Structure 1
Amino acid sequence: MENTKSKKKNSQLIVRINDMERTEFVELCEELDTSAAREVRRFIRCFIAENKKQI
Structure 2
Amino acid sequence: MTKKAEKKTGKKNSQLVLRLDKDDRDAFVQLCNDMDTSAAREIRGFIRGFLKDHQNGD
Counterpart residue identity of residue 27, structure 1: Q
Counterpart residue identity of residue 36, structure 2: D
Alpha-carbon separation, structure 1, partners of 2:24 and 2:48: 22
Question: Hey, what does 2:40 align to over in structure 1?
Answer: 37
Classify the secondary structure of the residue corresponding to 2:42. helix
Alpha-carbon separation, structure 1, partners of 2:53 and 2:9: 22
Q: TM-score, normalised by structure 1?
A: 0.84
Question: Hey, what does 1:19 align to over in structure 2?
Answer: 22
Tell me how large the CA RMSD over aligned residues is. 2.0
Q: TM-score, normalised by structure 2?
A: 0.80
**CA offset at residue 54 of structure 1?**
2.3
- Corresponding position: 1:9 with 2:41: no
